[in-house]
Amino acid sequence: DGEAILSFCVDSGLSDTSPDEGLIEDLTIEDKAVEQLAEGLLSHYLPDLQRSKQALQELTQNQVVLLDTLEQEISKFKECHSMLDINALFAEAKHYHAKLVNIRKEMLMLHEKTSKLKKRALKLQQKRQKEELEREQQREKEFEREKQLTARPAKRT
């Protein structure tokens, strides 16, 4: 096809006619030659260009799919990372909960001990007061006894 166009161009340019003769014919012939050359060029390169265009479209589509997949994987990774953070927070909360439970047990134990100590202190105070009262009563009895034992002047009538 290309050889036919080339021989046509060569044949039309090598005529023995004067330059003014057939000027209009030459223009139409040149237009036809340009059109045929363009058609030949297109027919030669167009299939490759169309295949390249199709391949580029497939590549672009594959890139879009890969980007979507990558975004999904990134979001999964972020979820896993946040789950690790949540697990760490739960572990820390469990640790502090155990500390609070121990503190509460210690506070209850200390409350019981202070209650027992208060009861004991009250009993001791009551016992001391009772002993003090008994001593005071004993002193009074002894004082009364001594008073009764001391000589009294006899009553004269």
User: What distance in Å separates the CA atoms of residue 61 and residue 154, rounded to the nearest whole number?
Assistant: 141
Structure pTM? 0.41
CA distance 140 to 117: 34
Q: Is the pLDDT of residue 5 over 80?
A: no
Does residue 15 register a pLDDT over 50?
Answer: no
CA dist 139 and 129 (Å) reads: 15
C-alpha distances out from residue 94 to 2, 90, 108, Å = 85, 6, 21
Give the whole-angstrom CA distance, residue 56 versus residue 48.
Answer: 12
Distance CA(126)–CA(134), nearest Å, equals: 12
Could you tell me if 40 and 5 are in contact, meaning their C-beta atoms sit under 8 angstroms apart?
A: yes
pLDDT digits (tens, 9 = 90+) for 73-120: 999 888 888 888 888 899 999 999 999 999 999 999 999 999 999 999
**Mean pLDDT estimate for the chain:** 84
pLDDT tens, residue by residue, 23-54: 556 667 788 888 888 898 889 989 999 999 99
Judge whether 33 and 9 are in contact, CB under 8 Å.
yes
Q: Is the dihedral of CA 20, 24, 29, 30 positive or negative?
A: positive
Q: Is the pLDDT of residue 129 over 90?
A: yes
Name the residue type at position 64: V
**What does the pLDDT read at residue 83?**
82
